Structure 1
Amino acid sequence: MLVLGIFIFWFSVRDVSFSELIGDIKRLQWGWLLVAFLSMFFSLFFEAAVVKALLHKETMTLRWRDALRIPFIEQLFNGITPFSSGGQPAQLFAMLQSGADAGRATSVLLMKFVVYQSMIVVNFIFALTTGFHYVADKMQVLSLLFVLGFVVHLCVIVALLMVMYWYNFTKKTVKFFFKPFKKFSKTDRYEKLEVKIDEKIDNFYEESLRLKKDGRLLLKISCLTLVQLFFYYVIPYFILLGLGISGVNFWMIVTMHILIVMVISLFPIPGGSGGAEYSFSTIFSSFITNSSKLILAMILWRIITYYFGMFLGMVALVVKPQKMKKG
């Protein structure tokens, strides 16, 4: 992924004046860039706070250093796997290293996933209502991707809610749509897969009942997740300030970043590489008219939001955690 990133950066700057790019780097306001890095760190910090709160509910006390280790490792494995599919197993691995029970750790990740997906959809609805008209007028191709991204995430939430509130109906529906696969697979393999899917639906339903019973905890982790996402979404604003670009609308920048993140989730390449850089450059070209500053902003954004987390994950992966205390 590092090699691919370097190639994309080189491809992006090939038509930009090197001397102009160096001049823009020299004129960077490093204080604002430090704020951007801190925003990314605080985003991960509040994600760790969600994990710590959920584990505390399970009468397990996790040290802050080891709690931070979990989202750091998640960032690494999200960044090197298609559709960020490696983040969940990596978090489970990190929690097991800290001494968490496998069943309880899985329940924590399920609850965390439900709340995170819900807050993603809430933020995206906000972005659609406030900034979609701007994108639809100027970038029709990307606007279609935004809508597709919203539909995908909405379908995930609807499926989760169906399991939570229409358990029997959901199981019957899944089995109905799953039956055609029986023709293309061996009977024993099909039966094993059917049992595995039933177990996952049952586990999720049981954990959803526990989550619904504790409204205070649900509200707490929802607020923490919103704060986590806010710190992540404001990063481009501080990058623009670091480039000396002022007078931009704060909420418009945040809205555009929400839309970009939604598009990135659709690209199967790890980290959305290629699509992420293209989306950022296309959307923020209206705010940054200078081509070298636009490319520099894109590179800084990828370093902060993607590579920074991956390097933190590399460090966290080799740090040995302490076993958590159980009450």
Structure 2
Amino acid sequence: MSADSTGREGDSPKVRAKVSAPRPKVTGGGSPESEDSKADARKGALFLAVVVGIYVAYLLVTGQMGQFLDALSKVDRGWVGGACVMFLLYFVFGVLAYVIAVYLDPESPVGVRDLMSVEASGVFFGNLTPMMAGAVPAQIYRLTRTGQDVGEASATQFTRFIMFQFGVVLFAAIMLASKLSYFFQAYGDIIILNLIVFAVHFLELAGLFVICLCPKLVMRVGNWAIRFATRHHWLKDPSKYDDLVNRQVMEFSRAFKRAARDLPSMGLTLLVTMAQLFCLYAIPWFVLNAFGIRADFVECLAAGSMVQMVSSAVPLPGGTGGAEGGFYLFYGHMFGGSISAGFLVWRIITFFGPTLLAAPLLGLRSNSSQSIYYRVQRLRNRMAGALPGKRGKSHRGITVRVKGKVPAYKPKAKPNGKDGNKD
């Protein structure tokens, strides 16, 4: 039901109710994109297992295992717990960003538990695929399993993806501007690497905006590139790229333009994304304190933003190579002799642990077919009805002042055929 509590006639709010037919049921079996993501995730898990084995072998061969174990034995578990809470908040803010997007559609069948699964899909498949390439297809597929069609799911996911990338670049820009002198003092000429990495991510973001705002230009250039590559036999399957250029570019653009019509919601999503990144970048500060090392909080945030940009630019699962190099480069002077142990604790909290814990959440589903918008409006009306002088007619748990009759809310069927239960 669409309940517009902001509409007014005289002094009385009015409620518009609409009963819609159930959305088409999404059948099982998976999509090619989801199957590709699963295959890439399996390869990524195997690759990372090999990387861990190499890391352990390195500690043994170099004789650092004793120092490593001694550093771990002195870890303050309270600070480690605080770091875990920060990652939990990172996950919560990620779900909240999706809630904002879904709330805009009063008839959306997506529930909170559905969105927890969507965020978990991004963590799981993103961590196990190069440059997090498996995250977006897996999340779109998971949204379609809630009852959304592919267009709606793509619009939700693409908007979230763009705002996250924008948040990463904006956060890094703020840190570079506020701590530029610190970077010069602490890293010297390495600041050039910071600026190069920032420039690469800025260009990626600019490219996304070009695709969103000038899709026909992108399609013309893309088709020319496909024809050129095909003539030189550089492409094994040109049809795959043809679909990307001639269909997905336009869908991406339309999804962004639809979302851009509601600028306040996009602004709120950006604020939530910045809070999410704040939690992620603050984790190394907690790890430092766990080893009894005191460091400047803002400097840790600035270094964290640089590690994120370096690791996300490496085309290997989990940013392997970039994560290690970035952490040693930007936090090495802070951890000193505890750098190996500090890296392991940080990596467990931000990567290995979340990847394992996200797996059980992939199948999480909401039983309610009532939209998030409906439930928020119902809560607001109940709160308004509880205030002195605000009592009105009661209708199925909603206390509002209305003109005319309000049709009974009929929840829409979800793909699992269940309804009536709250998240």
- TM-score bracket, normalised by the shorter chain, equals 0.7 to 0.9
Q: Identity percentage over the alignment? A: 20
Structure 1 pair 187–115 and aligned structure 2 pair: CA distance change class (3 A): closer
Instruction: Give 1:1-327 correspondences, 5 Å limit.
Output: 1-12=48-59, 14-15=61-62, 18-58=65-105, 59-132=107-180, 134-135=182-183, 139=187, 143-185=191-233, 190=238, 193-246=241-294, 248-289=295-336, 291=337, 293-317=338-362, 319-322=363-366, 325=369, 327=371
Separation in 2 of the partners of 1:214 and 1:17?
Answer: 55
Q: Deviations over 1:76-108 (max 9, x none)?
A: 111211111111112123223333322211110
Q: Counterpart of 1:325 in structure 2: which amino acid?
A: S
TM-score, normalised with respect to structure 2: 0.69
Residue 260 of structure 1 contacts residue 280 of structure 1 at CA under 8 Å; is this kept in 2? yes
Separation in 1 of the partners of 2:232 and 2:195?
Answer: 33
Q: Deviations over 1:33-64 (max 9, x none)?
A: 10101111110111111112212223325443
Q: CA deviation at 1:172?
A: 3.6
**Cross-structure match for 2:397:** none
TM-score, normalised with respect to structure 1: 0.88
Structure 1 pair 88–137 and aligned structure 2 pair: CA distance change class (3 A): same
Separation in 2 of the partners of 1:266 and 1:140?
Answer: 22
Residue 73 of structure 1 contacts residue 90 of structure 1 at CA under 8 Å; is this kept in 2? yes
Question: Structure 1, unaligned stretches of length 5 or more?
Answer: none
Matched position secondary structure for 2:96: helix
Q: Deviations over 1:182-208 (max 9, x none)?
A: 413499964674354121221122112
Q: CA deviation at 1:252?
A: 0.5
The structure showing larger relative contact order (alpha-carbon pairs under 8 Å, at least 6 residues apart) is 1
Structure 1 pair 26–218 and aligned structure 2 pair: CA distance change class (3 A): same
Q: Counterpart of 1:125 in structure 2: which amino acid?
A: A
Separation in 2 of the partners of 1:85 and 1:203?
Answer: 18
Q: Deviations over 1:273-306 (max 9, x none)?
A: 23312221232121122x1x21111110111111
Separation in 2 of the partners of 1:93 and 1:264?
Answer: 26
Separation in 2 of the partners of 1:113 and 1:96?
Answer: 17
Separation in 1 of the partners of 2:113 and 2:261?
Answer: 30
Point out the more displaced range, 84-93 or 248-257.
84-93
Separation in 2 of the partners of 1:323 and 1:191?
Answer: 39
Structure 1 pair 323–280 and aligned structure 2 pair: CA distance change class (3 A): same
Structure 1 pair 47–115 and aligned structure 2 pair: CA distance change class (3 A): same
Point out the more displaced range, 205-214 or 62-71.
62-71
Higher helix share: 1
Structure 1 pair 9–305 and aligned structure 2 pair: CA distance change class (3 A): farther
Point out the more displaced range, 115-124 or 60-69.
60-69
Separation in 1 of the partners of 2:247 and 2:64?
Answer: 58
Question: Structure 2, unaligned stretches of length 5 or more?
Answer: 1-47, 372-423
Separation in 2 of the partners of 1:234 and 1:204?
Answer: 32
Larger Rg, first or second structure (1 or 2): 2
Point out the more displaced range, 264-273 or 235-244.
264-273
Structure 1 pair 250–169 and aligned structure 2 pair: CA distance change class (3 A): same
